[in-house]
A and B are shown apart, each in its own frame.
Chain A
Amino acid sequence: MLFLDAPSVLSVSQLSRYLKELLETNDTLQDVWVQGEISGSRIYPSGHCYFTLKDAEAQLHCVFFKYARLRSAAPELRDGMAIAANGRISLYERDGKLQMYVDSIEPLGDGVLFLRFEQLKARLAAEGLFEIERKRPLPTFPLVIGIVTSPQAAALRDMLRVLRTRYPLVQVILSPTLVQGAEAPAAIANALDLLNEYGEVDVIIVGRGGGSIEELWAFNEEVVARAIARSRIPVISGVGHETDFTIADFVADHRASTPTAAATAAVPDISEWLADVRTHRQALTVLMEDLLVGLADELARTERDLQRQNPQYQLDRLHQQLDDTTALLQTRLQHILSLRGERLHGVALQLHSLSPLLTIARGYAVVRRDIDAVVVTSTQQVQAGDAITIQVTDGHIHASVQ
């Protein structure tokens, strides 16, 4: 009963939590590959799959959740199937059960393949073949692309379609090869070497479309890895589907998830460059217009300056001044003359009103002595017998005084 009081006594839950934490903080156990044979597999209506992975001496409970199965495009699991499962190890507290939460599954023909993969990967990694420093940059504008794949494969058609759409400027040189079967690894390596020997290639895509792990296996062979590593030309790998990783992927300068993605990575997109060309063309026109407008302004300014210095311009100006002055003079003269004319007219009128002729017209007459033409205004001025002239409106009457 002593233990009950000791602080080191744990409840089952506490112990379970402790164990769970121990497992879940161990890096190795959180991303581990386990190979074995499937038994007792069953899929629940929820879509989750439960099975036991076992070998001759031990067994491991596994849970393969629906979302993980769908995401990893897992093959259908059958009892007796040899697989390698990737996932994390944890404790299912309710049942006190250690189990593996599976993320993905690779079927193993004989289980040996997977081991060889891991061994080769470890060996090449130790040699430094996967180092980031070894990765060469891909050319931005490749002129020639070498493709190492099967001439009959859909993968080749997919790649050519992408290249045609994205960047048809490029020239493709296919280095044909088998991509599966016993002779494929050597053939792939040879096709890579051949492109290097030919030399006039900027980047190489090596790949094939999706398939089973056995079908993709050539890309896990050492001869292929070595050929990629010794290629003087940068290599893009595009093998299988998104989830497939091959040794070739680790060695390549650039890993693309599929052949299509490899072709996409190899070339720039023509539409982006077309847009850039258009932008540059517009910039040229705008700049040139600005320049011309600036020059035209300057020209106009200079022309004006020059015009002001021109003697002809001075002369024209003087001529105009002269013309203006002459016109003004004439106007003034006209004015003065018309003023004079009016005054003359006035005087004439006045003169007219004072004219004795007007008086005569009313019946009066002007009488003059003939002797001296003095106007007679009094009887005292004449004597009988004097000759006189009487002026009337239409002439003179000669008479004698009686």
Chain B
Amino acid sequence: METLTFEEAFAQLEAAVAALQDGQMPLEQALHHYEEGMKLAQYCNDLLQKAELRVQQLRVNDEGVPVVMPFEAE
């Protein structure tokens, strides 16, 4: 889950809710959707709450290729 983007995690969260809403499934499967959904909600929440804007700067290196480096001029 740690590799999911917010958009992906949110889409999966929506899918979990939709699956539970459907309701026609064995308990084990429902529990799976529930646990997965709760984890995704927490993950989305954490992503949003703990996110810190990363600012980098584009430079052209000696080979003439654009590369990113930290931006400190703030």
Chain A interfacial positions (CB closer than 8 Å to B): 140-141, 143, 146, 151-152, 157, 160, 163-164, 168-176, 191, 194-195, 197-198, 270, 273-274, 276-278, 280-281, 283-285, 287-288, 291, 295
Cα A151 to Cα B21 with chains together (Å): 50
**Which B residue's beta carbon lies closest to that of A139?**
B7
Contact yes or no, B57 A174, CB < 8 A: yes
Chain B interfacial positions (CB closer than 8 Å to A): 5-7, 10, 13-14, 16-17, 20-21, 23, 27, 30-31, 34, 37-38, 41, 44-45, 47-49, 51-58, 60, 66-68, 71, 73-74
Cα A321 to Cα B10 with chains together (Å): 63
By a CB distance below 8 angstroms, the chain B residues around A287 are: 17, 20-21, 23, 34
| Most B C-beta atoms less than 10 A away, residue of A143, A175, A284 | A284
Q: 27 A-B pairs, CB-CB below 8 angstroms? A: A141-B5, A141-B6, A151-B71, A168-B48, A168-B53, A169-B6, A170-B53, A172-B55, A172-B56, A173-B58, A194-B58, A194-B66, A197-B66, A270-B48, A273-B6, A273-B48, A277-B45, A280-B37, A283-B20, A283-B21, A284-B17, A287-B17, A287-B20, A287-B23, A287-B34, A288-B31, A295-B27
Cα A197 to Cα B67 with chains together (Å): 10
Contact yes or no, B58 A174, CB < 8 A: yes
By a CB distance below 8 angstroms, the chain B residues around A191 are: 58
Contact yes or no, B27 A291, CB < 8 A: yes
Cα A278 to Cα B21 with chains together (Å): 17
Cα A278 to Cα B45 with chains together (Å): 8
Q: Which 7 A-B pairs have the closest CB atoms?
A: A141-B7, A281-B41, A168-B51, A287-B20, A198-B66, A284-B37, A288-B34
By a CB distance below 8 angstroms, the chain B residues around A163 are: 53
Number of A-B residue pairs, CB cutoff 8 Å, is 109
Instruction: Tell me how far the C-beta of A137 lies from the nearest C-beta in chain B, rounded to whole angstroms.
Output: 15
**Which A residue's beta carbon lies closest to that of B31?**
A288
On whether A176 and B58 interact (CB within 8 A), knowing A277-B48, A288-B20, A291-B30, the answer reads yes
Cα A278 to Cα B42 with chains together (Å): 9
Instruction: Tell me how far the C-beta of A58 lies from the nearest C-beta in chain B, rounded to whole angstroms.
Output: 52
By a CB distance below 8 angstroms, the chain B residues around A164 are: 53
Contact yes or no, B45 A274, CB < 8 A: yes
Contact yes or no, A277 B20, CB < 8 A: no
Contact yes or no, A169 B47, CB < 8 A: yes
**Which A residue's beta carbon lies closest to that of B65?**
A197
By a CB distance below 8 angstroms, the chain A residues around B14 are: 280
Contact yes or no, B74 A157, CB < 8 A: yes
Cα A176 to Cα B66 with chains together (Å): 12
Cα A143 to Cα B8 with chains together (Å): 12
